[in-house]
Structure 1
């Protein structure tokens, strides 16, 4: 039995229906870090389903077990196939899934490298015009507009404009800096690069259209939560309001958040309103789903007992 139709149907379910369910759910805002993981797990299982479907379309009469054996042999693992001279179909069954997975991985690496180049250039400019503030452990940048952002990755920096230092109270400034340090400590640039790489490959897919914006928003909420552990809700919310119009350089995270004012409004409502924690049972079930999601395409292609 050829599993390509089932795999393509599974990919359609993940790429079209799953994002709608997530967008209507309230729990990602209660557990933003777990929400990021679920969104990225959907991208992984979608790509794996496409890769396995490509292998099945290349050899429609061959069971997936044989295709996987050929793929492992091509990688130098395991015994070779019974036919020492594979034909065009067998070669395609190996080349197509490798091309799908390689294109996806290349897109993510490209996003990481490009963002890293932007951050490196900006750090060089900061070294020339910025002033180190030992008390806050940040770089103060002369600028007329109040703003704050971080440059994650190698030689991470937290940057605050001198106008923001004058505008914000000491408690507000500490809350903003704590928010930016959460981005650096959590290496938030890596999941964002993964989301951007996937979104660039499948621009018309609903999952791709939503994953970047949702991952960026949830990462901001995760950084908010860390700042709120040490600072009152009103302090962070008022600081965000004061910096709402600030602009963020490429490759950086800004306290005002991504893509205009709407995400900032959502975050401020979350900060100032009740924030019930996600139920432990929900967390456990979602964590289990994240771990098993990459295996589901294999189960679709190779159901037990076949």
Structure 2
């Protein structure tokens, strides 16, 4: 069986058809951490499918005359008089998937390094201007608007304005601080860097665009859920409302932000958790997704 059409169709389905389906799914906001993981798995599965499609397009197979290299040879674009060079095919077949992997790795390293430099500069300024509070386990900044954010990484900081310390109740303040600690503990900055790397490499791909936007929202919801384990929904919602208009650094996770209205409706509305059977089914299906392009390209004996 020629795997190229099936691989190409699978990769296109993951990149173009899967995002609208996941956007319309009703369970994602009830299990935000799992939903964010599904977006990332779709990205991985797409890249594997794209790499294997490129490999199989170039690599000659027994049931094909000579693949793309043969086409180049017949057009006079490949050297040699005795047919296509199999070694050239091998090199080209390995180069295309490797290029995809290297581009993604380079983009990920770039976004991580750029964000780390920005956070390091901001962390130095925060340590210089603010004061550390052992009681809050946070750095308090002189700022006349209630605000809170975190700087994740090797030397993480939870930063809160002195206006928030003055104006928020103890329960509100505790919910905000727990939200920020959730971002740090979950290493959410790395998850966002991964989606940014795909957005950089696969510009225009609906999966890459939606994965970046939805991951940011879902990680905020996951941090909200951590805060709600110890604090009331009313306390978290009112604190988010108070801090909705606060300005925070670009590469920091803020308790307010552009997604605050969606999160407020979720926090104040009925919070029925996703059913365990649904969670398990989605997790199993998501775990199988990266294996599908491999099974298509290398089917078990008797299925090929």
- Give runs of aligned pairs for residues 198-277 of structure 1, distance below 5 A: 198-257=198-257, 260=258, 263-277=259-273
Instruction: Measure, in 2, the Cα distance between the counterparts of 1:28 and 1:216.
Output: 13
Matched with 2:297 is: 301
What is the TM-score normalised by the length of structure 2?
Answer: 0.89
What is the TM-score normalised by the length of structure 1?
Answer: 0.88
Matched with 1:101 is: 101
Q: Secondary structure at the residue paired with 2:155?
A: coil
Matched with 1:285 is: 281
Matched with 2:53 is: 53
Matched with 1:147 is: 147
- Give runs of aligned pairs for residues 136-175 of structure 1, distance below 5 A: 136-175=136-175
Tell me if the contact between 2:60 and 2:89 (Cα under 8 Å) persists in the aligned partners: no
Matched with 2:44 is: 44
Over 4 Å off, 4+ runs: none
Tell me if the contact between 2:49 and 2:293 (Cα under 8 Å) persists in the aligned partners: yes
Deviation at 1:86, TM superposition (A): 5.0
Deviation at 1:102, TM superposition (A): 1.2
Deviation at 1:109, TM superposition (A): 1.8
- Structure 1 residues 125 and 298, CA, compared in 2 at 3 Å: closer, same or farther? same
Tell me if the contact between 1:148 and 1:160 (Cα under 8 Å) persists in the aligned partners: yes
Matched with 2:74 is: none
Deviation at 1:4, TM superposition (A): 2.0
Q: Secondary structure at the residue paired with 2:210?
A: helix
Matched with 1:192 is: 192
Unaligned 5+ residue runs, structure 1? 64-84
Q: Secondary structure at the residue paired with 2:6?
A: helix
Deviation at 1:35, TM superposition (A): 0.4
| Range 102-111 or range 26-35, more displaced | 102-111
Deviations, residues 55-95 of structure 1 (Å, cap 9, x unaligned): 111124358xxxxxxxxxxxxxxxxxxxxx95211100111
Deviations, residues 176-212 of structure 1 (Å, cap 9, x unaligned): 0010011111111111111111112222111111111
* Alpha-carbon RMSD: 1.8
Q: Secondary structure at the residue paired with 1:26?
A: coil
Q: Secondary structure at the residue paired with 2:28?
A: helix
Matched with 1:120 is: 120
- Give runs of aligned pairs for residues 84-99 of structure 1, distance below 5 A: 86-99=86-99
| Range 294-303 or range 231-240, more displaced | 294-303
Aligned pairs, number: 283
| Range 212-221 or range 51-60, more displaced | 51-60
Matched with 2:6 is: 6
| Range 146-155 or range 296-305, more displaced | 296-305
Instruction: Measure, in 2, the Cα distance between the counterparts of 1:165 and 1:174.
Output: 10
Instruction: Measure, in 1, the Cα distance between the counterparts of 2:131 and 2:249.
Output: 18
